[in-house]
């Protein structure tokens, strides 16, 4: 079975992390997000995959090529202008002549796709949508069904007063190719807001496949941190074999006086100085340097991040080539874009987001 993965969104809510790369290429445990998704599909025997791209497509193509090193076969489609979720799959029509899968490219799950495909076939549905329970359905597409699981209503991003169920569209679909005939070509169309509503109005059989498997939409920096923590803490064991320990990449040098409290993943070629404290769950990308006496807890650092002496990082994200100088503090849910330089003696409070390449002068931010 073929799969179309939608990886064309701009990842607006994840800025500044998505200023220079797409959401699909953001590192999760030091591998691009999309690599995890491809491995998941491969485990279910789905190896013929079409990537529907728009925003910054070249990084994806350069990294994955024809897919061989990930064990899948990739085809690429680039939309000049984003075509929306239905427009993107319509654009892939020439590849799709039998039942196929469609996935949002920003979900992390171990939902049983094989069982979902069987469920779809048994019911002779035109569309089967995976649904999962969430605490806050207002950020998602709400799906109502009858007692037999047949979909009776879609409500995209409802207000709290409209919420009738906590089961939402999980962004995994099994679809029949006939539905593509209903989508106008070369137009921006939303499958959630338009195509599914039209199919429903025509009385077409659409079913919800319920799952309580691990599921997360990596839509915000908070969710991105949560995903890294969950995986390190072993909350999705079939997706990542968390050792619960400290994993250290080749060529890394750790001073014997450093205290590292699991679970921590350290990439290749890192240098950890004297008296450094690292408390998990924490991820250090390759080539990070942490100077003497610095303290890091619950952080995700990308490639080549430099942390100065006695700096403190807590529950934050720093993208490629950031520098946090001596005695500076970067606190809860702060997000630093690529190449941000935080001069010494600054204190970035909760939730601060700094755009790529910005240099913060020493001692200029104190709360
Ligand atoms: N190719 C292409 N073109 N891909 C797109 C486009 C486009 O124009 N617009 C969005 N995408 C991709 C995004 O990259 C993402 O992988 C996926 O489509 C969904 O877009 P999001 O922007 O992440 O949507 P959402 O998270 O707000 O809502 C969607 O996903 C939820 C589950 O995660 C909806 O499908 C909701 O109903 C659903 O609950
Ligand atoms: Mg999303």
Q: What is the pLDDT of residues 301-321, one digit of tens each?
A: 999 999 999 999 999 999 999
Mean pLDDT calculated for residue range 40-64: 93
Find out whether the beta carbon of 54 lies less than 6 Å from any atom of ligand 1.
Answer: yes
Find out whether the beta carbon of 168 lies less than 6 Å from any atom of ligand 1.
Answer: yes
| Residue 367 confidence (pLDDT) | 63
Query: Residue 289 pLDDT more than 70?
Result: yes
Q: CB-based contacts of 119: which residues, under 8 Å, 6+ apart? A: 128, 207, 209
Q: What is the pLDDT of residues 133-154, one digit of tens each?
A: 999 999 999 999 999 999 999 9
Establish if 238 belongs to a structural domain: no
Query: Residue 244 pLDDT more than 90?
Result: no
Q: Which of 25, 106, 142 to mutate to test the pocket of ligand 1 (most atoms within 8 A of CB)?
A: 106
Find out whether the beta carbon of 9 lies less than 6 Å from any atom of ligand 1.
Answer: yes
CA of 117 to the centre of ligand 2 (A): 22
Q: Assign residue 198 the CATH number of its domain.
A: 3.90.550.10
77 and 205, same domain (yes or no): yes
Establish if 239 belongs to a structural domain: no
At 252, is the pLDDT very low, low, confident or very high (cuts 50, 70, 90)?
very high
Find out whether the beta carbon of 85 lies less than 6 Å from any atom of ligand 1.
Answer: yes
99 and 145, same domain (yes or no): yes
Query: Residue 57 pLDDT more than 90?
Result: no
For residue 5, give the ligand 1 atom closest to its CA: 16
124 and 207, same domain (yes or no): yes
162 and 77, same domain (yes or no): yes
208 and 253, same domain (yes or no): no
SS3 state at 61: helix
At 67, is the pLDDT very low, low, confident or very high (cuts 50, 70, 90)?
very high
| Residue 55 confidence (pLDDT) | 81
CA of 280 to the centre of ligand 1 (A): 31
CA of 136 to the centre of ligand 1 (A): 17
Q: Which of 15, 54, 104 to mutate to test the pocket of ligand 1 (most atoms within 8 A of CB)?
A: 104
Find out whether the beta carbon of 26 lies less than 6 Å from any atom of ligand 1.
Answer: no
Mean pLDDT calculated for residue range 80-103: 95
CA of 218 to the centre of ligand 2 (A): 6
Give the percent of the chain with pLDDT over 90.
91
> Is-contact 241 222, C-beta < 8 A?
no
Q: CB-based contacts of 31: which residues, under 8 Å, 6+ apart? A: none
Find out whether the beta carbon of 104 lies less than 6 Å from any atom of ligand 1.
Answer: yes
Find out whether the beta carbon of 10 lies less than 6 Å from any atom of ligand 1.
Answer: no
Which residue owns the Cα nearest ligand 1 atom 13? Answer: 9
207 and 346, same domain (yes or no): no
Establish if 171 belongs to a structural domain: yes
For residue 169, give the ligand 1 atom closest to its CA: 39
Q: What is the DSSP letter of 135?
A: S
CA of 308 to the centre of ligand 2 (A): 35
At 222, is the pLDDT very low, low, confident or very high (cuts 50, 70, 90)?
very high
Give the closest residue to 329 by CA, choosing from 343, 270, 280, 320.
343
109 and 212, same domain (yes or no): yes
Mean pLDDT calculated for residue range 251-257: 97
Q: What is the pLDDT of residues 157-191, one digit of tens each?
A: 999 999 899 999 999 999 999 999 989 998 999 99
From the CA of 103, the nearest ligand is 1
| Residue 292 confidence (pLDDT) | 97
Residue 40's domain comprises 2-219
Q: What is the pLDDT of residues 95-139, one digit of tens each?
A: 999 999 999 999 999 999 999 999 999 999 999 999 999 999 999
What's the structural domain count of the chain? Answer: 2
Query: Residue 26 pLDDT more than 80?
Result: yes
Query: Residue 237 pLDDT more than 80?
Result: no
**pTM greater than 0.75 (yes/no):** yes
Q: Following CA atoms 176, 189, 108, 39 in sequence, which dihedral angle do they give, to the nearest 10 degrees? A: 60
Please identify every residue annotated as catalytic.
157
Per-position b or e across 33-60, b if 16+ CB within 10 A of its CB: bbbbbbebbeebebbebbbbbbbbbeeb
């Amino acid at each position: 079975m073929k799969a179309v993965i939608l990886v064309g969104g701009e990842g607006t809510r994840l800025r500044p992390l998505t200023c220079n790369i797409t959401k699909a290429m953001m590192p999760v445990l030091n591998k691009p997000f999309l690599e995890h998704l491809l491995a998941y599909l491969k485990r279910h025997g789905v190896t013929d995959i079409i990537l529907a791209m728009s925003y910054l497509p070249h990084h994806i193509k350069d990294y994955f090529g024809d897919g061989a090193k990930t064990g899948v076969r990739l085809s690429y489609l680039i939309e000049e202008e984003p075509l929306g979720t239905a427009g993107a799959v319509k654009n892939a029509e020439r590849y799709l002549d039998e039942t196929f899968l469609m996935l949002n490219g920003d979900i992390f799950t171990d939902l049983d796709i094989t069982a979902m495909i069987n469920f779809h076939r048994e019911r002779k549905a035109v569309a089967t949508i995976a649904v999962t329970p969430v605490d806050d359905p207002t950020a998602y597409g709400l799906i109502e069904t009858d007692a037999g699981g047949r979909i009776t209503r879609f409500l995209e991003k409802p207000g709290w007063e409209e919420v009738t169920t906590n089961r939402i569209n999980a962004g995994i679909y099994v679809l029949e190719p006939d539905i593509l005939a209903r989508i106008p070509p070369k137009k921006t169309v939303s499958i959630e807001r338009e195509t599914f509503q039209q199919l429903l109005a025509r009385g077409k059989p659409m079913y919800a496949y319920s799952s309580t498997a691990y599921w997360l939409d990596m839509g915000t920096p908070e969710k991105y941190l949560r995903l890294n923590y969950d995986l390190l803490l072993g909350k999705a064991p079939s997706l990542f074999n968390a050792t619960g320990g400290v994993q250290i990449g080749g060529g890394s040098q750790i001073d014997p006086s450093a205290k590292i409290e699991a679970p921590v993943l350290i990439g290749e070629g890192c240098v950890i100085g004297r008296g450094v404290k690292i408390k998990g769950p924490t991820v250090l990308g390759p080539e990070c340097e942490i100077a003497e006496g610095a303290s890091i807890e619950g952080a995700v650092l990308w490639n080549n991040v430099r942390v100065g002496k006695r700096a403190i990082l807590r529950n934050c994200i720093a993208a490629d080539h950031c520098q946090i100088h001596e005695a500076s503090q970067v606190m809860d849910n702060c997000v630093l874009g690529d190449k941000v330089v935080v001069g010494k003696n600054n204190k970035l409070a909760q939730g601060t987001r700094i755009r790529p390449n910005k240099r913060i002068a020493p001692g200029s931010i104190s709360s």
